[in-house]
A and B are shown apart, each in its own frame.
Chain A
Amino acid sequence: NAGVTQTPKFQVLKTGQSMTLQCAQDMNHNSMYWYRQDPGMGLRLIYYSASEGTTDKGEVPNGYNVSRLNKREFSLRLESAAPSQTSVYFCASKIPFPRPKAFFGQGTRLTVV
């Protein structure tokens, strides 16, 4: 049982390059999330998808786009990478309220030079 799978695990981009981070879950959850983790900041929500076909902005959406391709897959795209987007990115899927639990992938460590 893989849970939440993210690819790639590591990536180095030059400023201005684009890339897509992939995420897939096999737990049949409706809700999926993208977070970024920076030192001393905890996890901050970039975008989320409450169900297939819907996406919404989180706390720090600027510079990112997302696609909920189907129930399993939720991708995060950086159209023009900036050094401020150097971070570790986590995808999560979640069991909803009233007993929510979030399950995370292993993360993508992105460096923008």
Chain B
Amino acid sequence: GQQLNQSPQSMFIQEGEDVSMNCTSSSIFNTWLWYKQEPGEGPVLLIALYKAGELTSNGRLTAQFGITRKDSFLNISASIPSDVGIYFCAGQLNNNDMRFGAGTRLTVKP
């Protein structure tokens, strides 16, 4: 089945640095969602995007719905140790299945 291409696969950054990750697809979506998963837990929704070009923030997190409808990115500003986890993107077109990226594993060094 079609998966989204999420990059990078992993990131090792210093506390205080900004982080950027993205998701691309060969198909268009009309919904992009970003999730965070911590060890032993299920994915938790961070940001939902429903319109091409939409830019939405949640605290230090900002996500954008690409204007081509085939990509989305997530930025985290001034990272802190509790940002550690795996970040997943998900895309959906109409009532079709929600598709997930393979995740970006973020490590933050104090």
Q: Which residues of A contact B (CB under 8 A)?
A: 4, 35, 40-45, 48, 58-60, 90, 94, 96-107
Contact = CB atoms under 8 A, between A and B. Distances in A.
Contact of A104 (B44, B50, B94): B44
Contact of B50 (A58, A98, A103, A105): A98
Interface of B: 1, 3-4, 6, 9, 30-31, 33, 35, 40-45, 48, 50, 88, 90, 92, 94-95, 97-98, 100-103
Given A42-B3, A96-B95, A101 B42 contact: no
B92 A100 contact: yes
Contacts of B3: 41-42
Nearest to A35: B100
A45 B48 CA distance: 20
Given A42-B88, A96-B95, A98-B50, A107 B31 contact: no
Contacts of B97: 45, 48, 58-59
Given A40-B102, A42-B101, A44-B1, A102 B90 contact: yes
